[in-house]
Amino acid sequence: MDSTAHLPEGHDSDSKQSRGWKFWLIFVSLCASVFLSALDLSSVGTALPVIVNELHGEDSFAWVSAVYTLTCTAILPLSGQLADIWGRRVILLSAIFLFALGSVICATASSMNILIGGRAVQGMGSGGIQSLVAIIIADMVTLKERGLFISLTGAAYSIATAVGPFIAGVFSQKVTWRWQVRHHINLPLCGLAFSVVSLIRLRKPPVESIRKQLAVLDWIGNAAIMGSTVSCVLAVTWAGFSFPWASVQVLAPLICGVFGLVAALIYETWFATNPCVPIVIMSNRTSLSGYFGTFTHGMVSIIVFCGYSHVPLYFQACKLASPLRSGLYFFPMAVMISPAAIIQGITISKTGNYRLVSVLGWVSMLVGIGLLMLATPSANIGVVIVAQLVAAVGVGLLYCTQFSILAPLDPRLNSQALAFLLFLRSFSQTWGVAVGATIIQNHLKHHLPVEFLARFAPKQDIAYSAVPLLKSLSPSLRAEAQEAFSGSLRLLWIVSMALCGIGLLSVAFQKNIPLHRLRDERRGLESAPVTTENQVEGLDDEQHEKDEVVAKNY
């Protein structure tokens, strides 16, 4: 079967859209929004030991990251459907506002509970920002041409990831973490992004009554997905810290959450009239493989490479680096992601071969993580940085997973397909955080010196609580503690390599379906002319059903 058979007939697959200053204005605002979200995520971890110490949050620090991921993940499927009903602009503005509100709450927090509440609000805003940025770009740019634009937003994300730990280290060491969160970064960027997005005009569906708009919303599906997601995230957050993995407090919400997600998928497939996750987006092997790769990549990236997590922990624990210096050591790796992301975008736009790019990405990550096995307390910093650079190339190349997902699908499914992609990525990162934290915590409990462990409460997180105390230990005790940290991270690298191998195998199930030049002309900039050569709005329901049937063959 011809791989383009699922595309509507009579549409010029080589047509290109002219772009003016309005297009570039909104694209820059979207990049700024992505930068904002990534900067906050990457900067928190470097300052986390300082935050925990100041707010006395040794027994609840894990929630600073977990609640952010929880709300970010839960809101993603809903954000895609809300954008379809009420339009892209108003939902993106709402997301930016929520993020700014959460930043203010965090900056003024006088306790860990208030800080965690602010992070929950920030997570909702971040989820909306991520979803709407991807959806709006898909509205404005065809899949064939989208590689460059995806890589540029990926570059914005990686630059924020690079400078976030560095900036956080500067402010936590020289000023205070509160200034970093509130005045110098988040709020000015929120104001800039909000102002620019307010000026743009995007096409949206005809305005209907509030009653009709609310009736269109998939209330049951969204509630089931959000509730099940929260249940799963609570379980993996408690696991290994508040309660053992085998305890009823962990297993009960975990089982309920998993079964709830399965039930939600069944409901979306057979009963929902307007599903937030239509099953057709997963009804072909290429898209399904892309979603699986996205999940695996999300776990690995958060375990190993995210700036708020374990790489800075290595530098601070094994090399006794300050938050500022650990940010500097992490900087080259994060910077390398940007050119790798841009190269993959240009390569895919020119060749359309996203399968090959995926293979190269997974191989690069495997090699880089393998080199991180050499990161012992006595290892040369240069060796560790080289290992990060090799792995960073893989991280940048694997921004390509959405091409395998979208290539077989009707462009009218972009919002649902992209929202679900981001949901899986965020959900997988939740598992990555839990797996990584559990491995570190359990290994440290069994390998740190007994006299050092006696300083911590039974349920207290050891990793970040122990880092500030390492310099005060005697040389022999400190060396033993550093070896324990190194061993726990080495075990983490092994798990990550196994996940990379699984991700590499998933590429074998993909077909390299040609990238089309179709757009959903119901969406996009208001000033852009609505042409017929790449329009999909006029397709009747019968043709739409044929497209879905053909897509299943991929």
Question: Quick check: 15 pLDDT over 50?
Answer: no
Mean pLDDT, residues 445-450: 88
Alpha helices (runs of H) in 319-459, residue ranges in sequence order: 323-351, 354-372, 381-397, 401-406, 414-447, 450-453
257 and 165 within one domain: no
Q: Is residue 494 part of a domain?
A: yes
Mean pLDDT, residues 364-382: 92
Q: Is residue 516 part of a domain?
A: yes
Q: How much of the chain, in percent, has pLDDT values that exceed 70?
A: 80
Question: What's the domain count of the chain?
Answer: 2
Q: Is residue 188 part of a domain?
A: yes
450 and 341 within one domain: yes
Question: Quick check: 494 pLDDT over 90?
Answer: yes
Least confident of 87-101, 303-317, 531-545: 531-545
Q: Is 196 exposed, middle or buried (0-12, 13-18, 19+ CB in 10 A)?
A: middle
Q: Is residue 9 part of a domain?
A: no
65 and 95 within one domain: yes
CA distance 304 to 298: 10
Question: Quick check: 365 pLDDT over 90?
Answer: yes
487: CATH: 1.20.1250.20
Question: Quick check: 103 pLDDT over 50?
Answer: yes
Q: Is residue 495 part of a domain?
A: yes
Among 246, 273, 300, identify where a domain stops: 273
168 and 63 within one domain: yes
160 and 74 within one domain: yes
Among 273, 292, 317, identify where a domain stops: 273
Q: What are phi and psi of 124, to 5 degrees?
A: -60, -45
Q: Tell me the average pLDDT of the chain.
A: 81
284 and 239 within one domain: no
388 and 255 within one domain: no
511 and 377 within one domain: yes
By C-alpha distance, which of 86, 197, 73, 188 is closest to 131?
A: 73
Question: Quick check: 371 pLDDT over 90?
Answer: yes
Among 234, 258, 273, identify where a domain stops: 273
Mean pLDDT, residues 457-486: 85
Classify 519 as helix, strand or coil.
strand
Q: Tokens at residue 305, please?
A: 């490479």
Q: Is residue 16 part of a domain?
A: no
90 and 173 within one domain: yes
236 and 182 within one domain: no
Q: Is residue 2 part of a domain?
A: no
Q: Tokens at residue 424, please?
A: 């899986």
Predicted pLDDT of residue 225: 93
pTM: predicted TM-score of the whole model, two decimal places: 0.81
Residue 261's domain spans which residues? 218-273
* Residue 287 CB partners (closer than 8 Å, separation 6+): 281, 404, 405, 406, 407, 408, 409, 417, 551, 554
294 and 246 within one domain: no
Q: Is residue 313 part of a domain?
A: yes
Predicted pLDDT of residue 153: 86
196 and 227 within one domain: no
Query: Which has more confidence, 62 or 342?
Result: 342
Q: What are phi and psi of 403, to 5 degrees?
A: -65, -45
